């Protein structure tokens, strides 16, 4: 017969005297139950389901466990037993520093973290690129995703041919894609990139602009920068960049602007400095030849274009209009507030976690965007 626990006292001294250091390290859940005079289920609940016990009983069990050197149920064994790890895997298209330095990524990550907190779930971040690697050296990454102890995956803005996608799908765990790529039968969270890009191009057309250039996000994860050829554009594996470019081009073509005459300059990274360096050659020409408006696929690229305009002694928007995409904090906190597309980054993260943990939700969520007009776009003064 198991003796009832002594809630006001300590476990009998003979239990501690018999324990040497090796035994302390080898103590098991059943050892704690025997020493505390409770069932092994009570010990398990003390660690994993504290709401099932009274506060004095839980403290008695935990005190006994501490005395025996028992730190709690083994996580690996518990996972094998229950089939759950209590963690979600978030796969990024960039290095981990990007997750904490890029404003769009940090907002998205904030939304993911909020939803994980609601569900008492942890988060495992997996990067598909190491900082400075261009193109990314994937190394053992496919093995890493195969071995990740998670209950499901969120893919955040990966190239269509990213090598980690196949091993992730092969695991058969719940899976949600945010932004890209679209995978058959896999839930997706994103925005209408085509429609939003078309809307911002229509805004510039309504202001009288007819000479454009596009600052593009990278089209393939190979580190290439500079003018993008038609062949390069046709072979893009980043669906968001393709959709935004097609949206720009659809608006321009409908207004009689031949898309083939609009230069597309590709930035390997979403980085202001690189955007500035790539924009300068577009601006250092005669007024009749340079673009009157730049369509940037992100706010950071747009801010880089604005820096290039200052270096070229051009006034924004009098000499050059610039539009961005994202509506990050820098869009309103800079000297030149950006005309841009506002999209709900944090809500993307929250929605992705909810869809991952509640399969009954819809397989497709298209979140709303908004054109925000600010001082970086203005009416074009025609050159006579």
Residue 72 in contact with residue 49, Cβ under 8 Å? no
Q: What is the pLDDT of residue 51?
A: 83
Of residues 298 and 329, more confidently modeled: 298
* CA distances in angstroms from 342 to 23, 139, 255, 370, listed in the order given: 60, 36, 24, 5
Residue 251 in contact with residue 257, Cβ under 8 Å? no
Of residues 102 and 241, more confidently modeled: 241
Beta bridge partners of residue 266, listed in sequence order: 216, 226
Share of the chain above pLDDT 70, in %: 83
Q: What is the pLDDT of residue 334?
A: 66
Q: Is the pLDDT of residue 14 over 50?
A: no
- Name every residue whose Cβ is closer than 8 Å to that of residue 287 and which is 6 or more positions away in sequence: 319, 383
First to last CA, the chain: 102
Q: What is the pLDDT of residues 184-213, one digit of tens each?
A: 999 999 999 999 999 999 999 999 999 999
Tell me the pLDDT band of 148, cut-offs 50, 70 and 90. Answer: confident
Cα(306)–Cα(322) distance, integer angstroms: 7
Cα(292)–Cα(213) distance, integer angstroms: 8
Q: What is the mean pLDDT of residues 280-295?
A: 94
Cα(115)–Cα(222) distance, integer angstroms: 33
Cα(105)–Cα(86) distance, integer angstroms: 23
Q: What is the pLDDT of residue 137?
A: 46
Q: What is the pLDDT of residues 212-229, one digit of tens each?
A: 999 999 999 999 999 999
Q: What is the pLDDT of residue 182?
A: 96
Q: What is the pLDDT of residues 348-370, one digit of tens each?
A: 999 999 999 887 776 899 999 99
Identify which of 118, 239, 188, 184 has the alpha carbon closest to the alpha carbon of residue 348.
Answer: 188
**Least confident window among 269-278, 326-335, 355-364:** 326-335
**Least confident window among 93-107, 114-128, 132-146:** 132-146
Cα(296)–Cα(378) distance, integer angstroms: 16
- Which helix (H) or strand (E) segment is 275 a member of? helix 272-283
Whole-model pTM: value is: 0.78
């Amino acid at each position: 017969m198991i003796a009832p626990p002594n809630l006001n006292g300590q476990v009998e001294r003979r239990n501690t005297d018999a324990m040497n250091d090796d035994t302390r390290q080898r103590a098991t859940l059943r050892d704690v139950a025997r020493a505390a005079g409770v069932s092994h289920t009570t010990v398990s609940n003390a660690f994993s389901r504290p709401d099932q016990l009274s506060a004095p009983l839980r403290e008695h069990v935990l005190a006994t466990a501490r005395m025996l050197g028992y730190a709690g149920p083994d996580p690996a064994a518990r996972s094998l037993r229950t089939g759950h790890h209590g963690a979600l895997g978030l796969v990024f298209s960039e290095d981990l520093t990007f997750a904490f330095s890029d404003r769009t990524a940090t907002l998205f990550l904030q939304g993911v973290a909020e939803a994980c907190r609601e569900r008492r779930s942890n988060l495992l971040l997996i990067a598909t690129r190491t900082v400075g690697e261009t193109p990314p050296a994937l190394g053992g990454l496919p093995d890493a995703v195969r071995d990740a102890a998670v209950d499901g995956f969120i893919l955040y803005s990966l190239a269509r041919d990213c090598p980690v996608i196949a091993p992730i799908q092969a695991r058969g765990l719940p899976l949600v894609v945010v932004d890209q790529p679209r995978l058959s039968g896999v839930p997706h969270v994103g925005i209408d990139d085509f429609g939003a890009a078309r809307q911002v191009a229509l805004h510039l057309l309504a202001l009288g602009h007819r000479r454009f250039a596009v600052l593009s996000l990278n089209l393939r994860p190979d580190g290439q920068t500079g003018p993008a050829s038609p062949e390069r554009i046709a072979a893009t594996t980043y669906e968001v960049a393709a959709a935004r470019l097609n949206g720009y081009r659809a608006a321009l073509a409908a207004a009689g602007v031949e898309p083939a005459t609009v230069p597309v300059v590709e930035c390997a990274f979403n980085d202001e400095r690189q955007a500035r360096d790539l924009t300068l050659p577009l601006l250092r020409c005669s007024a009749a030849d340079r673009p009157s408006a730049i369509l940037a696929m992100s706010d950071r690229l747009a801010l880089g274009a604005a820096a290039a305009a200052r270096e070229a002694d051009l006034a924004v928007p009098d000499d050059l209009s610039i539009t961005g995409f994202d509506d990050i904090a820098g869009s309103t906190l800079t000297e030149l507030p950006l005309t841009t597309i506002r999209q709900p980054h944090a809500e993307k993260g929250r929605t992705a976690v909810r869809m991952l943990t509640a399969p009954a939700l819809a397989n497709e969520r298209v979140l709303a965007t908004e054109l925000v007009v600010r001082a970086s776009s203005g009416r074009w003064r025609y050159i006579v």
